[in-house]
Amino acid sequence: MQIARVRGTVVSTHKARSLTGVKLLLLQFIDAEGQLLPKYEVAGDTVGAGIDEWVLVSRGGAARIDDGYNNRPLDAMVIGIIDTVTVDNRQLYSKKGENRG
């Protein structure tokens, strides 16, 4: 999985019928030092992530594993809101204190 920050939303009304009711978030990837990368992903969201939160994004078939998503043509999914990222025993990120990088 990759670490990403929720930056916004994408709205599409004319789409595959199986996507009805799926919320689509625009995620920007973050590197292992906590910096934003130029890379993004539009992903489905089932955990209710909010703007600026750090999340885990899973790609490929993993996006269609959870109940109710097997038959939706998604290739990326937010699978968790991150509480903490710890690197070399140092806390890189904490949801309470945000990026301490």
Residues that bind a copy of itself (CB under 8 A): 1-3, 7-16, 18-19, 24, 26, 28, 31-32, 38, 40-43, 46-48, 51, 56, 58-66, 71-77, 79-89, 92
Least distance in angstroms from the C-beta of 97 to a copy of itself: 14
* Among the listed residues 78, 69, 91, the one whose alpha carbon sits nearest the alpha carbon of residue 49: 78
Q: Which is nearer to a copy of itself, 75 or 99 (CB)?
A: 75
Structure tokens given for 55: 């999340």
Question: What is the DSSP pairing of strand 36-45 with strand 76-81?
Answer: parallel
Q: Which is nearer to a copy of itself, 81 or 99 (CB)?
A: 81
Structure tokens given for 21: 């009711």
Least distance in angstroms from the C-beta of 5 to a copy of itself: 11
CA 101, distance to chain mean position in Å, is 20
